[in-house]
Structure 1
Amino acid sequence: MATPTILVADDDKAIRTVLVQALNRNGYDVRTTGHAATLWRWVQDGEGDLVITDVVMPDENGLDLIPRMKRIRPDLRVIVMSAQNTLLTAVKATERGAFEYLPKPFDLGELVNVVKRALKTPAAPAAAGGGGEGEDDEQLPLIGRSPAMQEIYRVMARLMGTDLTVMITGESGTGKELVARALHDYGKRRNGPFVAINMAAIPRDLIESELFGHEKGAFTGATVRSTGRFEQAQGGTLFLDEIGDMPMEAQTRLLRVLQEGEYTTVGGRVPIRADVRIVAATHRDLRHAIQQGDFREDLFYRLNVVPIRLPPLRERVEDIPALVRHFLNSANNEGLPTKSIDPPAMERLKMYRWPGNVRELENVIRRLSALYNQESIGADIIDMELAEAPPPAEDGTAPPASEGLSGAVDRHLRDYFAAHEGELPADGLYDRVLQEIERPLITLCLSATKGNQIRAAQLLGLNRNTLRKKIREMNIEVVRGLK
């Protein structure tokens, strides 16, 4: 069997050199160029078994080249790599027929694995091209280029051409509805309706009527027939927000819809076909709710076909400057004065814990735009707005700055127990608390060592294989390799 040849197009000579070395070590022949025109000529001449291309090159956008390559060589697989790490870049790459999209910086080991999969996977039909160029972050449905957001973009891009059910989890204010809307707006049902219903905002005895509709006379007060959200969402997407607050009776009816693909209205007898894509979201731990008997396990597995976890803002602080610019521009477009955040103030924003996540950040930026005369917002104003004083101790005094790690953990646990009184698990609390602490600790150590797992293992006092196992089990993103 002939050695596969890989065509690499990137205007960065250092990246081309590193890719040649990595791919040669794995037994591949490699040809490289810094221009799209040269890559196009090679493809026209029938050269190469696989293409790896950058997006931005001096003579042409790599995404524009993909449909032309797929027209003349539909079996040729294309891997796209880009520093334009946005959701739209991932979506466009997928729509135009790319086998995989890798944001820069990427892990060399991951790229080699993608190459191996691409050369083994049977070719799929070329996707239709589409979409304009040049979108910046201000037009995006989601903001952020952190590694955590990059993985979300990649998953979402793979889902755009499917009707798979998606479960979005994350704390309040992380943007769960934005993800649901993006899945709809860029998916195959984009021409249908997007209908959202918040389970926590509807009285429990009305949820079934809201979801499935009711017939005239079905219950007291039902004077006319009413359509439900399933009927309103026909041909589109139904977003079930805060699904963890759905009553058990409604859960049973929803499970039947997911199993059989049809439902009846409250008081009705004629089955109605459900032609909708389901996207659900919750801030609750549904596995814990299952243990407590508050959520059906079979419904969970029906909804959790593709899980997407949205990280809290404190886990992606590198996205805060882009979010701040976006919210400042939005406020300005609404008629509020033009503002900027000076560097020390931006650092204050990045140091804050943001318990309300992106929603809280947006509210703070709107308040800054509306209430202050200064064109440039300084750190003193940010300090006043955030007022992040630690909660007082039981005697009314503030805890000392030198309280230590043990004291800080003790204070946070007391706050958690007070806020979740009556909701704590019946057993297994010790392991659960350790798991909650373990993930951020490992993430912080990997960040401090710039993804070097050997150094991180030494810092943690763990065996290197143990650390790798924990990274894999917790699905922790490790950023290393090219910059």
Structure 2
Amino acid sequence: MPKSKRIWIADDDESIRFVLEKGLIDAGFDVSVFEDGNEVVNQLDIEKPNVLLTDLKMPGRDGMDLLDTFKNEYSNIPVIMMTAHSDLETTVDAFENGAWDYIAKPFDLNDAISKISKALEEKKIRAKKISSEEEIHLERGKIVGKSPAMQDLFNSIGKLSHSSSTVLLVGESGTGKELVAQAIYEHSDRADKKLISLNMADIPIELLESELFGYEKGAFTGADHKKIGRFEQAHKATLFLDEIGDMPYETQTRILRVLSSGEFYRIGGSDPVKVDVRIIAATNQNLNEKVRSGAFREDLFHRLNVIRIALPPLRDRKEDIPMLTNYFFEKFSEEVKSESKFLSSEVEELFTKLIWPGNVLQLQNLCHSLTVLSSAQEIQVSDLPDDLILQKKGPELNWDDLLEVWATEKLSNGDDHLLNSTIPIFEKTMIRVAMKATKGKKSEAANLLGWGRNTLARKMNELDL
């Protein structure tokens, strides 16, 4: 057995050790298993692993203790954390303390093997400079979820903790883009500065550039003082630009110049203002399509699309709905000083069958309304608003019948180029179904769709998936 494939597993759960040991041995690894962290540390006097796979919570010396030991004394050995306590704070804490990767229980064995194989290819883990005593927390809210899609999101936020790269958040309205931007900011090296935010859709076009770049005194009628714009306010800090798909073309050009040169001119100014700004941008629109139509600058798109994070819609993470409703009920019950509501089994089942076009924001608003208006502590179907019930009790049609209804409505509204708008929607739906059926394995999903892997990757990029 090659010495370069020595894997150590530390977990107090015998069944987990058995499954991993058998699976990894079958995959060709040299495996040693340990019941707790103390056994691992004792064995380090004799030999060293190439990768350590450790549970986070164990009696005695736990996974975080082991991670700290490896970070300080064996920083070239990748450590992969496992835990059933899957939330953003736990994930980020693990990454910031030096974890190479993170696996949430229950895990997929093939996924664990894949991550171990990738860890073996790493020559050295990048040094982490966050003290183990530092507490990570979100001041404005909490990102909740155990689904694979949310674990991927937590991992992405954790890996960005020491980066100042530009981030593009894509996702439907209500998926929590502002909350994710806040989390990225709070776990970054620029968290000691204020997060500066601007929703491009909220500002009238004629005022947008003065909000972004400021103006000099006397620049125009009514400019009786100098105004500092958002870019200047965000110097050495982070600027969150929401709904960037709504930017006028002229504003896009000015923002491109700032990102390219690191400087801009206030309106009416003659001296350049130099800035060092980390950009987090967000949109609920298909920027690839806007680039193709000429409505969005391609060069600006590439400047913004450095690190892309796609936020899943609620319909793709329905297993998170019970956890989300509990969180929202507890939050709102504290505000109104009442006992926390909870869903009956019928309502919980109904919620997992709804489409949730407004995503998490729609669910949050519903929980707020139910907390205030419902007299009973247990929420029944009769407590729900009629429009929500109609989502489930509407006429059941075949998909081609639904397509006919949709197409007829579009044509009656005067929409043209119907195929051009329909095909991307169809392809996006088919890709989501295939990816869900294969648990995110792109090669298998491509095969189900009758495409090559490169074709699937290109389509996912074009469709903002």
The alignment's TM-score, normalised by the length of structure 1, stands at: 0.86
Structure 2: which amino acid aligns with 1:260? S
Any residues of structure 2 matched to 1:322-337 within 5 Å, and which? 322-337=323-338
The DSSP-based 3-state class of the residue aligned with 1:90 is: helix
SS at match of 2:70: helix
Which range moves more in the overlay, 322-331 or 49-58? Answer: 49-58
Cα distance change, pair 414–329 in 1 and its aligned pair in 2 (3 A): farther
Contact kept, 8 Å, 1:7 with 1:32, in 2: the verdict is: yes
Amino acid aligned to 2:19: V
Aligned residues: CA RMSD: 3.1
Asked if structure 1 preserves the Cα contact closer than 8 Å seen for 2:141 and 2:179, the reply is no
Match runs of 1:124-203 below 5 Å = 124-130=125-131, 141-203=142-204
* Structure 1 residue 346: Cα displacement: 1.4
Distance change (3 Å), C-alpha of 1:87 and 1:236: same
Partner of residue 308, structure 1 = 309
Residue 30 of structure 1: SS of its match in structure 2? strand
Checking the alignment, whether the CA contact within 8 Å between 1:313 and 1:357 is kept in structure 2 is yes
Pairwise CA distance, 1:93? 1.4
98-107 vs 155-164, greater mean Cα deviation: 98-107
Which residue in the other structure is 1:466 paired with? 450
- Three-state SS of the structure 2 residue aligned to 1:52 is strand
Cα distance in 2 for partners of 1:439, 1:465 equals 8
Relative to structure 1, is the Cα distance of residues 418 and 305 closer, same or farther in structure 2, using a 3 angstrom cutoff?
A: farther
Identify the structure with bigger relative contact order (alpha carbons < 8 Å, sequence gap 6+): 1
2:357 match: 355
* Aligned residue pair count: 458
Deviates more, 1:18-27 or 1:236-245: 18-27
TM-score, length of structure 2 as denominator length: 0.89
Distance 2:227 2:410 in 1: 42
Is the contact between residue 97 and residue 126 of structure 1 (CA under 8 Å) also seen in structure 2? yes
Contact 1:3 1:27 in 2 (8 A): no
CA contact (8 A) 1:81 1:104 kept: yes
CA contact (8 A) 1:193 1:234 kept: no
- The 3-state SS of whatever aligns with 2:123 is coil
Q: Give the distance between the partners of 2:423 and 2:185, measured in 1 at CA.
A: 38
Q: How many angstroms apart in 2 are the aligned matches of 1:430 and 1:312?
A: 19
Alignment counterpart, residue 381 of structure 2, candidates 379, 382, 387:
379
- For the Cα contact (< 8 Å) 2:138–2:183, is it kept in 1? no
Say which of 430, 433, 445 aligns to 1:438.
Answer: 430
How far off its partner does 1:159 sit? 1.0
Q: Partners of 1:214 and 1:373 in 2: how far apart?
A: 53
Alignment correspondent of 1:294: 295
Please point out which of 420, 426, 432 is paired with 1:428.
420
Q: Residues 25-64 of structure 1 correspond to what in structure 2 (within 5 A)?
A: 25-64=26-65
Q: CA deviation at 1:409?
A: 2.6
Paired residues for 1:219-298 under 5 Å: 219-298=220-299
**Amino acid across the alignment from 2:354:** Y
Give the drift of 1:374.
Answer: 1.1
Unaligned stretches of 5+ residues in structure 1: 391-397, 477-483
Per the alignment, in what secondary structure is the counterpart of residue 334 of structure 1? helix
Residue 406 of structure 1 corresponds to 400
The answer as to whether partners of 2:11 and 2:34 remain within 8 angstroms in 1 is yes
Q: For residue 206 of structure 1, what is the amino acid of its counterpart?
A: L
How far apart are residue 119 of structure 1 and its match? 2.6
Q: Cα distance 1:264–1:248, how it changes in 2: closer, same or farther (>3 A)?
A: same
Mean CA deviation greater in 343-352 or 112-121: 112-121
Question: AA paired with 1:210?
Answer: E
Secondary structure at the residue paired with 2:352?
helix
